[in-house]
Each structure stands twice: as C-alpha cells, then as structure tokens.
Amino acid sequence: MNKKIISGFAIAASAALTFGVVASVPASAAVKEVTIAYQGPLTGDAAQTGIDEVNAVKYALKKYNDTKPAVKINLVTIDDQGAGAVALTVAPGAAANKKIIAIVGPAFSGATISSLPYYKAARLPMISPSATNVTLTDKKSVNYGYPVFHRVPSTDAFQGPALAKWAVQNQKSPKVYVVDDKSPYGTGLASFVKKALASGTLGGSDSTPDDTKDFAATISKVKSTDSNVVIYTGYYAQAAILLNQLRAAGFKGDFAAGDGVMSQSFIDGAGKNAEGALLVAPTIPLSVGNPTMEADYVKVMGAASGEYSAETITITNLFIEAVKSGVSTRSAMLNFINGYKGLTAVGTKLSFDRNGDNNGAAAIGGFIVKGGKTVAIEVVK
C-alpha cells in the first residue's frame, strides 16, 4: 500500500463500517419497507462504472438488511447507459415512482443534467458518487440541481488543474494536445485543463463524439503539432480506442485522463498500451482508504471493489442512517441530507453546502497504470 497517498488524503485505514450523523427524524413504526434507487450505466460502453457502483449499493444494503432491521430497504436500478438521451427516457418513470425516496446517482454528469428537471419537480433527493461537472452546483447555471442534487466527490474545477499538472510530469518541455468527448463532463473538464496548463504548452485541442471509433483525424492533428502529451477528457471505452490508435500511429508520448477513464475496463481495452497511463480522480479507492472494509467487501461480494465504490457505499449508508432514524418520505430524506454531518467510508468528513457540494470533498489523487492495474501514487497538489 502506498503510504504517500494515504498520508496525503489524511484518512484512517481503520475507518469504521458505520457512519456518525447529527440529524434526526421522528420514527414511524408503521413503515416496514422503503425503496431507494441507483441510477447509472448498467449496459453499454460505460457499463463497468455502473456495475461497480450498483454492486457497492448492494453491498451496503446487504450488510444492513442481513441484520433483520425493523425497516427493510429495497433497491430499484435505473439504467441510463451514462447518456443524457437515455436518461430523458428513464427519469420520468423514476420520478413518478412514489416508492423511491432517494437516488444514489446518477453516475455521469450528462445523465444527471437530463434527469434533473424530473427529479426537481418530484422533489426526489439525489446524491451522486461520481458526477463532477461544476454546473450542477452552480446557482447561476441552468443545470443547477438545487434543492435535490448533492454529490460526494470534488468538482472538475479541482480535477482539471490536477490533471494538467499530473499529465506533464515526465516531459521537460511538454506540448499538450487535449481531446474531449463532447459530453458535459468531457467538455467541462477539458476547459479547466486548458486554463491550468502553463503558458505555451497547449499544442492544440479537438472535440470528438463520445461514440467515436476512428480517431484518425484527431491523431493527424496530434502529430502535426508535435505534441508529446495527449490528455483525454471522456470515458474509458473511447479512451482505450484512442490510445490504441495513437500507439499504432507511432505516438511515443504520454497519455493522461481524468476519472472517466480510471477503470479496469480501460486497461483491459488498451492492453499493453495502457501501461504508464497517467490518471487523476477525486476519489479514494476503498482498498487504500479502508482496507478493512475492502476485505469485508471481497468476502461479501466475491470480488474487489471498483471505482467510486467508497463514495457509493458512503451514500448508501447515509440513506440507511436516515431510514434507521425514521425517514420514509422524500421530503424527510431531503431534510436529513441537508442536516447530515458524518464520515465517509474512508474516514473523511461529509456534509453538504447549500448548493449540494461536499464540504469535506477529498483531494485529487494521482494514479499510474502499472502491471495491468491502476496504482495510487499521491495527492496532486
């Protein structure tokens, strides 16, 4: 385990499996079951993120329901494929389902933006483990999620500068080419990366659809600018395709990306070309932040946790604490979330400001793909 990143995140490896809160709601003995939902990509190119996150929800609920509590918590899964267009078709049904009192998610920023009008109208509380677009908590933006949207991770306003710094660490004279995937997440993160790059280091940029399979035109632009670093702000499926095609075209420089790419699926897709890829993410892996819980997760779920599992478990346990205190309605859940003060699964503080951001959001971690795995190195400052 890397001591540098643990000390940088300032977390306790022995963080408890339960969470402290200072919010209370009158109990209602009549309620025997409540329902929460998970929303994210469960099919499609980005499915691994959703599978990792929904499994983390199932882990936390299993731990709770196995205690035979007075109030059982049921789970509904909502597959938005990580796409705004799909979210537009599934969010209305979730909003109309009165049994659902809270949502873990959505996972992606674009899907969140598309879902918000329905969830705001229905006053359905949401806490995302991984949606990082800054507009979601910007009261001046049309995408402002108040009062229902909340999130655990830091925003792209922090991730972008960290990625700009982390990506160029191997180059004495960096020349950076930035490629985004035209999604709200990708374009937002790219804008912060470009602003943070040192003067004269941006070689160029390109925007490609999030389902691009042929990056020949983009690669030609990369080569024409003599760039030695490519930063991709999109998701792992296209990142693997881009990297493989870059290497096939003779690109020898560094490849870097944000949290949308930090998945084992990226490594599997890129194969040996993934080795040495530089990644950042506003997440603390459960295996790093709480190895005791990670060991229990493996025992219960039969596999290691994935990206944003710690954040997802944190959110699910918050909902569990709310139910244990008597919450059984959307309005009561929203009040509970807004009054919550506790700890995450990895021991950092958690509470939400008026706009829905986490007051104790974790630092941005720097990672490198090594030996076919994503290895945590340090906090990027």
- State pLDDT tens for residues 29-56: 466 999 999 999 999 989 999 999 999 9
Q: Which helix (H) or strand (E) holds 208?
A: none
Same domain, 120 and 149: yes
- Residues with pLDDT less than 50, the chain: 1-4, 6-7, 10-29
Which CATH number do you get for residue 342? 3.40.50.2300
Judge whether 71 and 34 are in contact, CB under 8 Å. yes
Q: Which two tokens stand for residue 43?
A: 């099919």
* Structural domain containing residue 79: 12-153+285-350
Q: What is residue 13's predicted lDDT score, i.e. its pLDDT?
A: 33
Between CA 125 and CA 73 the distance in angstroms is: 16
Whether 374 is covered by a domain: the verdict is no
Q: How many domains does the chain have?
A: 2
Judge whether 229 and 204 are in contact, CB under 8 Å. no
Between CA 284 and CA 356 the distance in angstroms is: 20
Whether 5 is covered by a domain: the verdict is no
- State pLDDT tens for residues 86-109: 999 999 999 999 999 999 999 999
Whether 246 is covered by a domain: the verdict is yes
Question: Among 226, 249, 281, where does a domain finish?
Answer: 281
List the strands of the sheet with 100-104, edge to edge: 72-79, 33-40, 100-104, 126-128, 149-151
Same domain, 176 and 230: yes
Whether 106 is covered by a domain: the verdict is yes
Q: What is residue 10's predicted lDDT score, i.e. its pLDDT?
A: 43
Same domain, 290 and 276: no
Same domain, 69 and 198: no
Q: What is residue 30's predicted lDDT score, i.e. its pLDDT?
A: 60
Q: Enumerate residues 6+ apart whose C-beta is below 8 A from 355.
A: 137, 138, 139, 144, 146
